[in-house]
Amino acid sequence: MTETTSEGDLDRFVHPLGDRYASREMQRIFSPGHKFGTWRRLWLALAEAEQELGLPVPDEALAEMRDALHDLDLARAAEYEKRFRHDVMAHVHLFGDAAPAARGIIHLGATSAFVGDNTDLILHREALILVRDRILRCVEALASFAGEHRDLPTLGFTHFQPAQPTTVGKRATLWIQDLLLDLEEVEFRLETLRFRGVRGTTGTQASFLDLFDGDHEKVERLGERVAEKMGFSRSLGVTGQTYTRKVDQALLATLAGVAASTSKMGNDLRILAHLREVEEPFEKEQIGSSAMPYKRNPMRAERICALSRHIITLAQDPAFTAATQWLERTLDDSANRRVSIPDAYLALDGVLILVENVARGLVVNPMVVRRNLEEHLPFMATETVLMRASQGGGDRQALHEAIRRHSMDAARQMKEEGTRADLLERIAADPAFGMTLEELEGMVDPRRFVGRAPEQVDRFLTDWVDPVLTRYAADTSTSLGEPDVRV
Protein backbone atom coordinates (compact mmCIF):
# COMPACT_ATOMS: atom_id res chain seq x y z
CA MET A 1 0.00 0.00 0.00
CA THR A 2 1.42 3.39 -0.94
CA GLU A 3 1.61 5.95 1.85
CA THR A 4 0.65 9.49 0.94
CA THR A 5 0.50 11.94 3.81
CA SER A 6 -0.54 15.53 3.24
CA GLU A 7 0.63 18.36 5.49
CA GLY A 8 -2.72 18.41 7.23
CA ASP A 9 -2.38 14.73 8.15
CA LEU A 10 0.99 14.98 9.90
CA ASP A 11 -0.55 15.73 13.29
CA ARG A 12 -3.57 13.45 12.94
CA PHE A 13 -3.79 9.84 14.10
CA VAL A 14 -3.93 7.32 11.28
CA HIS A 15 -5.39 3.94 12.21
CA PRO A 16 -2.81 1.21 11.55
CA LEU A 17 -5.51 -1.29 10.56
CA GLY A 18 -6.42 0.90 7.62
CA ASP A 19 -2.97 2.22 6.88
CA ARG A 20 -0.95 -0.98 7.19
CA TYR A 21 -2.94 -4.19 7.45
CA ALA A 22 -6.48 -4.40 6.06
CA SER A 23 -7.28 -4.66 2.36
CA ARG A 24 -9.18 -2.06 0.37
CA GLU A 25 -12.03 -4.58 0.02
CA MET A 26 -12.54 -4.76 3.79
CA GLN A 27 -11.98 -1.05 4.27
CA ARG A 28 -14.61 -0.30 1.63
CA ILE A 29 -17.19 -2.37 3.54
CA PHE A 30 -16.76 -0.20 6.65
CA SER A 31 -16.20 3.07 4.79
CA PRO A 32 -18.49 6.06 5.38
CA GLY A 33 -19.56 6.05 1.73
CA HIS A 34 -20.67 2.42 1.84
CA LYS A 35 -22.35 2.78 5.24
CA PHE A 36 -24.35 5.87 4.35
CA GLY A 37 -25.04 4.58 0.85
CA THR A 38 -26.59 1.51 2.50
CA TRP A 39 -28.73 3.80 4.66
CA ARG A 40 -30.08 5.32 1.47
CA ARG A 41 -30.74 1.90 -0.06
CA LEU A 42 -32.72 1.00 3.06
CA TRP A 43 -34.76 4.20 2.91
CA LEU A 44 -35.47 3.51 -0.75
CA ALA A 45 -36.49 -0.09 -0.03
CA LEU A 46 -38.81 1.12 2.74
CA ALA A 47 -40.41 3.77 0.50
CA GLU A 48 -40.85 1.30 -2.37
CA ALA A 49 -42.48 -1.26 -0.09
CA GLU A 50 -44.73 1.37 1.46
CA GLN A 51 -45.87 2.46 -1.99
CA GLU A 52 -46.44 -1.15 -3.09
CA LEU A 53 -48.68 -1.68 -0.08
CA GLY A 54 -50.80 1.39 -0.77
CA LEU A 55 -49.21 4.38 0.97
CA PRO A 56 -49.14 7.62 -1.06
CA VAL A 57 -45.48 7.64 -2.03
CA PRO A 58 -45.03 9.53 -5.33
CA ASP A 59 -43.20 7.89 -8.23
CA GLU A 60 -41.16 11.07 -8.57
CA ALA A 61 -39.94 10.66 -5.00
CA LEU A 62 -38.74 7.12 -5.68
CA ALA A 63 -37.06 8.18 -8.93
CA GLU A 64 -35.15 10.96 -7.22
CA MET A 65 -34.13 8.66 -4.37
CA ARG A 66 -32.74 6.12 -6.86
CA ASP A 67 -30.81 8.82 -8.69
CA ALA A 68 -29.36 10.18 -5.46
CA LEU A 69 -28.23 6.91 -3.87
CA HIS A 70 -24.56 7.74 -4.42
CA ASP A 71 -24.79 11.53 -4.25
CA LEU A 72 -23.17 11.79 -0.83
CA ASP A 73 -21.80 15.09 0.44
CA LEU A 74 -20.18 14.02 3.72
CA ALA A 75 -19.01 17.56 4.51
CA ARG A 76 -22.61 18.78 4.30
CA ALA A 77 -23.70 15.79 6.43
CA ALA A 78 -21.18 16.82 9.09
CA GLU A 79 -22.65 20.31 9.12
CA TYR A 80 -26.14 18.90 9.63
CA GLU A 81 -24.92 16.59 12.39
CA LYS A 82 -23.24 19.49 14.16
CA ARG A 83 -26.61 21.28 14.16
CA PHE A 84 -28.85 18.34 15.08
CA ARG A 85 -26.42 16.27 17.19
CA HIS A 86 -27.95 13.25 15.48
CA ASP A 87 -26.25 11.34 12.67
CA VAL A 88 -29.37 9.71 11.23
CA MET A 89 -31.37 12.94 11.07
CA ALA A 90 -28.38 14.64 9.47
CA HIS A 91 -28.52 12.12 6.64
CA VAL A 92 -32.30 12.28 6.39
CA HIS A 93 -31.94 15.99 5.63
CA LEU A 94 -28.97 15.39 3.31
CA PHE A 95 -30.94 12.78 1.34
CA GLY A 96 -33.88 15.18 1.21
CA ASP A 97 -31.63 17.85 -0.30
CA ALA A 98 -30.57 15.41 -3.04
CA ALA A 99 -34.13 14.07 -3.57
CA PRO A 100 -36.45 16.99 -2.73
CA ALA A 101 -39.58 15.21 -3.99
CA ALA A 102 -38.95 12.52 -1.37
CA ARG A 103 -38.23 14.88 1.53
CA GLY A 104 -41.61 14.24 3.15
CA ILE A 105 -41.52 10.44 2.99
CA ILE A 106 -37.85 9.58 3.73
CA HIS A 107 -37.68 7.57 6.97
CA LEU A 108 -41.48 7.40 7.12
CA GLY A 109 -42.52 5.42 10.22
CA ALA A 110 -38.94 4.37 10.98
CA THR A 111 -36.56 4.93 13.87
CA SER A 112 -32.79 5.36 13.69
CA ALA A 113 -32.20 1.65 14.27
CA PHE A 114 -33.99 0.91 10.99
CA VAL A 115 -31.03 2.22 9.02
CA GLY A 116 -28.35 1.82 11.69
CA ASP A 117 -28.97 -1.76 12.75
CA ASN A 118 -30.05 -3.14 9.41
CA THR A 119 -26.96 -1.61 7.84
CA ASP A 120 -24.76 -3.17 10.50
CA LEU A 121 -26.22 -6.58 9.70
CA ILE A 122 -25.60 -6.02 5.99
CA LEU A 123 -21.99 -5.02 6.73
CA HIS A 124 -21.57 -8.07 8.97
CA ARG A 125 -22.72 -10.24 6.08
CA GLU A 126 -20.44 -8.63 3.51
CA ALA A 127 -17.43 -8.75 5.84
CA LEU A 128 -18.09 -12.37 6.78
CA ILE A 129 -18.15 -13.32 3.10
CA LEU A 130 -14.76 -11.68 2.64
CA VAL A 131 -13.43 -13.50 5.72
CA ARG A 132 -14.79 -16.77 4.33
CA ASP A 133 -13.05 -16.19 1.01
CA ARG A 134 -9.75 -15.38 2.66
CA ILE A 135 -9.96 -18.53 4.80
CA LEU A 136 -10.46 -20.53 1.60
CA ARG A 137 -7.35 -19.00 0.05
CA CYS A 138 -5.33 -19.86 3.16
CA VAL A 139 -6.61 -23.43 3.09
CA GLU A 140 -5.72 -23.76 -0.56
CA ALA A 141 -2.18 -22.48 0.00
CA LEU A 142 -1.60 -24.69 3.04
CA ALA A 143 -3.03 -27.73 1.25
CA SER A 144 -0.46 -27.32 -1.50
CA PHE A 145 2.30 -27.11 1.11
CA ALA A 146 0.99 -30.16 2.98
CA GLY A 147 0.81 -32.23 -0.18
CA GLU A 148 4.32 -31.29 -1.23
CA HIS A 149 5.82 -32.31 2.13
CA ARG A 150 3.43 -35.16 2.94
CA ASP A 151 6.21 -37.69 3.61
CA LEU A 152 9.11 -35.56 4.87
CA PRO A 153 9.82 -36.94 8.36
CA THR A 154 10.31 -34.39 11.11
CA LEU A 155 10.68 -34.51 14.85
CA GLY A 156 7.35 -34.29 16.62
CA PHE A 157 6.97 -32.43 19.89
CA THR A 158 4.72 -32.73 22.91
CA HIS A 159 5.26 -30.16 25.69
CA PHE A 160 7.92 -28.87 23.23
CA GLN A 161 9.94 -31.93 24.14
CA PRO A 162 11.09 -34.38 21.43
CA ALA A 163 8.38 -36.94 20.74
CA GLN A 164 7.43 -39.47 18.08
CA PRO A 165 8.21 -38.24 14.56
CA THR A 166 5.56 -36.94 12.23
CA THR A 167 5.89 -35.31 8.80
CA VAL A 168 6.11 -31.68 7.76
CA GLY A 169 2.97 -32.12 5.66
CA LYS A 170 1.02 -33.77 8.47
CA ARG A 171 1.81 -30.86 10.79
CA ALA A 172 0.43 -28.45 8.19
CA THR A 173 -2.84 -30.41 8.06
CA LEU A 174 -3.35 -29.55 11.72
CA TRP A 175 -3.42 -25.87 10.77
CA ILE A 176 -5.79 -26.61 7.89
CA GLN A 177 -8.11 -28.61 10.13
CA ASP A 178 -8.53 -25.62 12.45
CA LEU A 179 -9.30 -23.33 9.51
CA LEU A 180 -11.87 -25.78 8.11
CA LEU A 181 -13.65 -25.77 11.47
CA ASP A 182 -13.57 -21.98 11.37
CA LEU A 183 -14.99 -22.07 7.85
CA GLU A 184 -17.91 -24.20 9.04
CA GLU A 185 -18.56 -21.66 11.79
CA VAL A 186 -18.47 -18.74 9.36
CA GLU A 187 -20.81 -20.59 6.98
CA PHE A 188 -23.21 -21.24 9.85
CA ARG A 189 -23.20 -17.57 10.81
CA LEU A 190 -23.91 -16.54 7.22
CA GLU A 191 -26.73 -19.08 6.88
CA THR A 192 -28.42 -18.01 10.12
CA LEU A 193 -27.86 -14.25 9.95
CA ARG A 194 -31.24 -12.51 10.07
CA PHE A 195 -32.43 -9.03 9.23
CA ARG A 196 -33.65 -6.68 11.99
CA GLY A 197 -36.48 -5.56 9.77
CA VAL A 198 -39.11 -2.84 10.07
CA ARG A 199 -39.83 -2.62 13.79
CA GLY A 200 -40.30 0.94 15.01
CA THR A 201 -39.03 2.67 18.13
CA THR A 202 -39.33 -0.14 20.68
CA GLY A 203 -39.85 -3.03 18.30
CA THR A 204 -43.66 -3.02 18.48
CA GLN A 205 -44.24 -1.69 14.92
CA ALA A 206 -46.80 0.74 16.37
CA SER A 207 -45.87 3.56 13.97
CA PHE A 208 -46.30 1.31 10.93
CA LEU A 209 -49.58 -0.03 12.26
CA ASP A 210 -50.79 3.59 12.39
CA LEU A 211 -49.59 4.23 8.83
CA PHE A 212 -51.58 1.27 7.56
CA ASP A 213 -54.71 2.10 9.62
CA GLY A 214 -54.39 -0.92 11.86
CA ASP A 215 -53.85 -3.45 9.04
CA HIS A 216 -51.57 -6.02 10.72
CA GLU A 217 -51.17 -8.06 7.56
CA LYS A 218 -49.80 -5.12 5.62
CA VAL A 219 -47.30 -4.38 8.39
CA GLU A 220 -46.12 -8.00 8.22
CA ARG A 221 -45.81 -7.79 4.44
CA LEU A 222 -43.95 -4.51 4.71
CA GLY A 223 -41.25 -6.16 6.83
CA GLU A 224 -41.00 -9.14 4.50
CA ARG A 225 -40.69 -6.97 1.40
CA VAL A 226 -37.99 -4.71 2.81
CA ALA A 227 -36.00 -7.73 4.00
CA GLU A 228 -36.30 -9.34 0.58
CA LYS A 229 -35.20 -6.16 -1.17
CA MET A 230 -32.09 -6.11 1.01
CA GLY A 231 -31.27 -9.76 0.30
CA PHE A 232 -32.48 -11.44 3.50
CA SER A 233 -34.87 -14.38 3.50
CA ARG A 234 -35.63 -14.11 7.21
CA SER A 235 -35.82 -11.50 9.94
CA LEU A 236 -35.44 -11.87 13.69
CA GLY A 237 -38.65 -13.02 15.35
CA VAL A 238 -38.75 -10.07 17.74
CA THR A 239 -36.57 -7.08 18.58
CA GLY A 240 -36.51 -4.16 20.95
CA GLN A 241 -35.43 -0.93 19.38
CA THR A 242 -32.28 -2.71 18.20
CA TYR A 243 -31.50 -6.23 17.14
CA THR A 244 -30.23 -8.25 20.06
CA ARG A 245 -26.56 -7.57 20.69
CA LYS A 246 -26.14 -11.32 21.08
CA VAL A 247 -25.73 -11.27 17.30
CA ASP A 248 -22.60 -9.12 17.53
CA GLN A 249 -21.35 -11.26 20.38
CA ALA A 250 -21.74 -14.46 18.36
CA LEU A 251 -20.18 -13.04 15.22
CA LEU A 252 -17.12 -11.59 16.92
CA ALA A 253 -16.70 -14.85 18.83
CA THR A 254 -16.54 -16.52 15.43
CA LEU A 255 -13.85 -14.07 14.33
CA ALA A 256 -11.96 -14.72 17.55
CA GLY A 257 -12.13 -18.44 16.77
CA VAL A 258 -10.42 -17.82 13.45
CA ALA A 259 -7.84 -15.69 15.23
CA ALA A 260 -7.14 -18.52 17.68
CA SER A 261 -6.35 -20.76 14.71
CA THR A 262 -4.10 -18.24 13.01
CA SER A 263 -2.30 -17.47 16.27
CA LYS A 264 -1.60 -21.17 16.84
CA MET A 265 -0.16 -21.45 13.33
CA GLY A 266 1.86 -18.26 13.83
CA ASN A 267 3.31 -19.55 17.09
CA ASP A 268 4.19 -22.89 15.50
CA LEU A 269 6.02 -21.08 12.70
CA ARG A 270 7.94 -18.97 15.20
CA ILE A 271 9.08 -22.13 16.99
CA LEU A 272 10.03 -23.80 13.71
CA ALA A 273 11.93 -20.67 12.66
CA HIS A 274 13.93 -20.92 15.89
CA LEU A 275 14.70 -24.55 15.03
CA ARG A 276 15.56 -23.37 11.48
CA GLU A 277 13.40 -26.15 10.05
CA VAL A 278 10.68 -24.06 8.38
CA GLU A 279 10.91 -20.35 7.64
CA GLU A 280 8.52 -17.72 6.39
CA PRO A 281 9.27 -15.88 3.14
CA PHE A 282 12.16 -13.45 3.39
CA GLU A 283 12.67 -10.85 0.70
CA LYS A 284 16.06 -10.31 -0.93
CA GLU A 285 16.56 -6.88 0.69
CA GLN A 286 14.49 -7.49 3.83
CA ILE A 287 16.15 -6.41 7.09
CA GLY A 288 15.66 -8.70 10.07
CA SER A 289 17.22 -6.44 12.68
CA SER A 290 18.52 -2.87 12.68
CA ALA A 291 21.44 -3.89 14.91
CA MET A 292 22.06 -7.53 13.94
CA PRO A 293 22.26 -7.82 10.13
CA TYR A 294 22.52 -11.62 10.18
CA LYS A 295 19.07 -12.11 11.74
CA ARG A 296 16.12 -13.58 9.87
CA ASN A 297 13.28 -12.90 12.27
CA PRO A 298 9.81 -14.46 11.76
CA MET A 299 8.29 -11.00 11.54
CA ARG A 300 5.15 -11.98 9.62
CA ALA A 301 4.34 -14.83 11.97
CA GLU A 302 4.85 -12.47 14.90
CA ARG A 303 2.49 -9.97 13.27
CA ILE A 304 -0.07 -12.74 12.78
CA CYS A 305 0.10 -13.50 16.49
CA ALA A 306 -0.04 -9.82 17.47
CA LEU A 307 -3.14 -9.01 15.45
CA SER A 308 -4.80 -12.33 16.33
CA ARG A 309 -4.43 -11.46 20.00
CA HIS A 310 -6.17 -8.13 19.36
CA ILE A 311 -9.11 -9.89 17.67
CA ILE A 312 -9.47 -12.40 20.49
CA THR A 313 -9.48 -9.52 22.99
CA LEU A 314 -12.06 -7.57 20.96
CA ALA A 315 -14.51 -10.47 21.31
CA GLN A 316 -15.05 -9.34 24.91
CA ASP A 317 -16.54 -6.01 23.81
CA PRO A 318 -19.80 -7.31 22.29
CA ALA A 319 -20.14 -9.86 25.08
CA PHE A 320 -20.12 -7.08 27.69
CA THR A 321 -22.37 -4.96 25.47
CA ALA A 322 -24.95 -7.74 25.12
CA ALA A 323 -24.80 -8.37 28.86
CA THR A 324 -25.45 -4.73 29.81
CA GLN A 325 -28.23 -3.66 27.43
CA TRP A 326 -31.24 -2.43 29.42
CA LEU A 327 -34.78 -3.43 28.49
CA GLU A 328 -35.58 -2.33 24.90
CA ARG A 329 -32.15 -0.64 24.42
CA THR A 330 -29.57 1.73 25.86
CA LEU A 331 -27.10 3.84 23.91
CA ASP A 332 -23.96 2.72 25.73
CA ASP A 333 -23.53 0.18 22.93
CA SER A 334 -23.11 2.70 20.13
CA ALA A 335 -19.63 4.15 20.65
CA ASN A 336 -18.23 0.74 21.52
CA ARG A 337 -19.68 -0.94 18.45
CA ARG A 338 -18.35 1.80 16.14
CA VAL A 339 -14.85 0.77 17.23
CA SER A 340 -14.89 -2.91 18.14
CA ILE A 341 -16.81 -4.40 15.21
CA PRO A 342 -14.87 -2.77 12.34
CA ASP A 343 -11.59 -3.31 14.19
CA ALA A 344 -12.24 -7.04 14.52
CA TYR A 345 -12.99 -7.48 10.82
CA LEU A 346 -10.17 -5.21 9.62
CA ALA A 347 -7.65 -6.94 11.89
CA LEU A 348 -8.74 -10.42 10.83
CA ASP A 349 -8.60 -9.40 7.19
CA GLY A 350 -4.99 -8.35 7.73
CA VAL A 351 -4.19 -11.58 9.56
CA LEU A 352 -5.61 -13.82 6.84
CA ILE A 353 -3.74 -11.88 4.15
CA LEU A 354 -0.55 -12.54 6.11
CA VAL A 355 -1.37 -16.22 6.61
CA GLU A 356 -1.93 -16.72 2.89
CA ASN A 357 1.25 -14.83 2.03
CA VAL A 358 3.30 -16.90 4.47
CA ALA A 359 1.72 -20.19 3.42
CA ARG A 360 2.48 -19.58 -0.25
CA GLY A 361 6.12 -18.84 0.49
CA LEU A 362 7.09 -21.20 3.33
CA VAL A 363 10.66 -22.46 3.04
CA VAL A 364 11.53 -25.92 4.35
CA ASN A 365 15.16 -26.75 5.16
CA PRO A 366 15.23 -30.56 4.72
CA MET A 367 18.81 -31.03 5.93
CA VAL A 368 18.10 -29.16 9.16
CA VAL A 369 14.89 -31.14 9.61
CA ARG A 370 16.82 -34.38 9.12
CA ARG A 371 19.67 -33.38 11.44
CA ASN A 372 17.30 -32.42 14.25
CA LEU A 373 15.43 -35.69 13.84
CA GLU A 374 18.55 -37.85 13.69
CA GLU A 375 19.80 -36.33 16.92
CA HIS A 376 16.85 -37.73 18.84
CA LEU A 377 15.76 -40.70 16.74
CA PRO A 378 18.09 -43.27 18.37
CA PHE A 379 16.36 -42.72 21.70
CA MET A 380 12.98 -43.29 20.09
CA ALA A 381 14.19 -46.52 18.51
CA THR A 382 15.05 -48.13 21.84
CA GLU A 383 11.72 -49.95 22.08
CA THR A 384 12.30 -51.55 18.69
CA VAL A 385 15.87 -52.47 19.69
CA LEU A 386 14.63 -53.97 22.96
CA MET A 387 12.03 -56.14 21.22
CA ARG A 388 14.47 -57.31 18.53
CA ALA A 389 17.16 -58.20 21.07
CA SER A 390 14.64 -60.02 23.29
CA GLN A 391 13.41 -62.05 20.33
CA GLY A 392 17.05 -63.01 19.71
CA GLY A 393 17.19 -64.72 23.09
CA GLY A 394 18.19 -61.91 25.43
CA ASP A 395 16.77 -61.29 28.89
CA ARG A 396 14.17 -58.55 28.40
CA GLN A 397 14.59 -57.03 31.88
CA ALA A 398 18.37 -57.03 31.73
CA LEU A 399 18.28 -55.51 28.24
CA HIS A 400 15.85 -52.83 29.42
CA GLU A 401 18.24 -51.84 32.20
CA ALA A 402 21.17 -51.79 29.76
CA ILE A 403 19.29 -49.52 27.32
CA ARG A 404 18.26 -47.23 30.17
CA ARG A 405 21.88 -46.92 31.28
CA HIS A 406 23.21 -46.37 27.74
CA SER A 407 20.50 -43.77 27.05
CA MET A 408 21.29 -41.81 30.20
CA ASP A 409 25.01 -41.81 29.43
CA ALA A 410 24.47 -40.75 25.80
CA ALA A 411 22.08 -37.97 26.82
CA ARG A 412 24.48 -36.75 29.49
CA GLN A 413 27.29 -36.63 26.98
CA MET A 414 25.12 -34.65 24.56
CA LYS A 415 24.29 -32.07 27.21
CA GLU A 416 27.67 -31.80 28.90
CA GLU A 417 29.99 -32.11 25.91
CA GLY A 418 27.72 -30.86 23.14
CA THR A 419 28.41 -33.89 20.96
CA ARG A 420 25.88 -35.87 18.96
CA ALA A 421 24.09 -38.84 20.50
CA ASP A 422 26.24 -41.99 20.33
CA LEU A 423 23.54 -44.26 21.72
CA LEU A 424 23.64 -46.68 18.78
CA GLU A 425 27.40 -47.03 19.04
CA ARG A 426 27.07 -47.81 22.75
CA ILE A 427 24.45 -50.50 22.09
CA ALA A 428 26.47 -52.00 19.22
CA ALA A 429 29.47 -52.27 21.55
CA ASP A 430 27.41 -54.08 24.20
CA PRO A 431 27.60 -57.88 23.57
CA ALA A 432 24.31 -58.39 25.46
CA PHE A 433 22.45 -57.08 22.38
CA GLY A 434 24.37 -59.00 19.71
CA MET A 435 23.69 -56.34 17.03
CA THR A 436 25.97 -54.52 14.62
CA LEU A 437 25.94 -50.77 14.15
CA GLU A 438 24.72 -51.30 10.58
CA GLU A 439 21.75 -53.32 11.83
CA LEU A 440 20.92 -50.70 14.43
CA GLU A 441 21.13 -47.86 11.91
CA GLY A 442 18.71 -49.77 9.69
CA MET A 443 16.21 -49.72 12.54
CA VAL A 444 16.25 -45.94 12.81
CA ASP A 445 15.17 -45.09 9.28
CA PRO A 446 12.94 -42.02 9.94
CA ARG A 447 10.23 -43.33 7.60
CA ARG A 448 9.69 -46.28 9.96
CA PHE A 449 8.57 -43.96 12.74
CA VAL A 450 6.03 -41.62 11.11
CA GLY A 451 3.21 -44.15 11.16
CA ARG A 452 0.45 -43.31 8.70
CA ALA A 453 1.26 -39.60 8.55
CA PRO A 454 1.78 -39.51 4.74
CA GLU A 455 -1.38 -41.51 4.14
CA GLN A 456 -3.28 -39.32 6.60
CA VAL A 457 -2.23 -36.24 4.62
CA ASP A 458 -3.47 -37.82 1.38
CA ARG A 459 -6.76 -38.89 2.92
CA PHE A 460 -7.33 -35.53 4.62
CA LEU A 461 -6.70 -33.55 1.45
CA THR A 462 -8.90 -35.85 -0.63
CA ASP A 463 -11.80 -36.29 1.79
CA TRP A 464 -11.89 -32.94 3.57
CA VAL A 465 -10.02 -30.20 1.73
CA ASP A 466 -10.70 -30.91 -1.94
CA PRO A 467 -14.51 -31.06 -1.54
CA VAL A 468 -14.53 -27.65 0.15
CA LEU A 469 -12.31 -26.04 -2.47
CA THR A 470 -14.36 -27.65 -5.26
CA ARG A 471 -17.61 -26.42 -3.72
CA TYR A 472 -16.39 -22.84 -3.88
CA ALA A 473 -14.41 -23.08 -7.11
CA ALA A 474 -17.28 -21.72 -9.23
CA ASP A 475 -18.10 -18.95 -6.76
CA THR A 476 -16.70 -15.79 -8.32
CA SER A 477 -16.85 -14.03 -4.96
CA THR A 478 -13.80 -16.03 -3.90
CA SER A 479 -11.74 -14.67 -6.81
CA LEU A 480 -9.96 -12.00 -4.83
CA GLY A 481 -7.16 -10.00 -6.32
CA GLU A 482 -3.77 -9.53 -4.71
CA PRO A 483 -4.28 -7.41 -1.57
CA ASP A 484 -2.68 -3.98 -1.66
CA VAL A 485 -1.18 -4.13 1.83
CA ARG A 486 2.29 -4.48 3.22
CA VAL A 487 3.13 -8.06 4.16
Question: What residues are annotated to the active site?
Answer: 159, 289
- Rounded to whole angstroms, how far apart are CA atoms 478 and 48? 32
Closest CA to 221 of 13, 150, 229: 229
Q: Where are the beta strands (DSSP E) in 88-143?
A: none
Ramachandran category for residue 327: left, alpha or beta (phi over 0 → left; psi -120 to 50 → alpha): left
- Rounded to whole angstroms, how far apart are CA atoms 128 and 456? 31
Closest CA to 349 of 110, 20, 6, 14: 20
Q: How far is CA 418 from CA 372, 373, 409, 411, 421, in A?
A: 14, 16, 13, 10, 9
Answer whether 251's CB lies under 8 Å from 124's CB.
yes
Closest CA to 379 of 168, 167, 171, 163: 163
- Rounded to whole angstroms, how far apart are CA atoms 372 and 264? 22
Q: How far is CA 256 from CA 120, 253, 302, 320, 443, in A?
A: 19, 5, 17, 15, 45
SS3 of residue 389 by DSSP: helix
- Rounded to whole angstroms, how far apart are CA atoms 359 and 395? 51
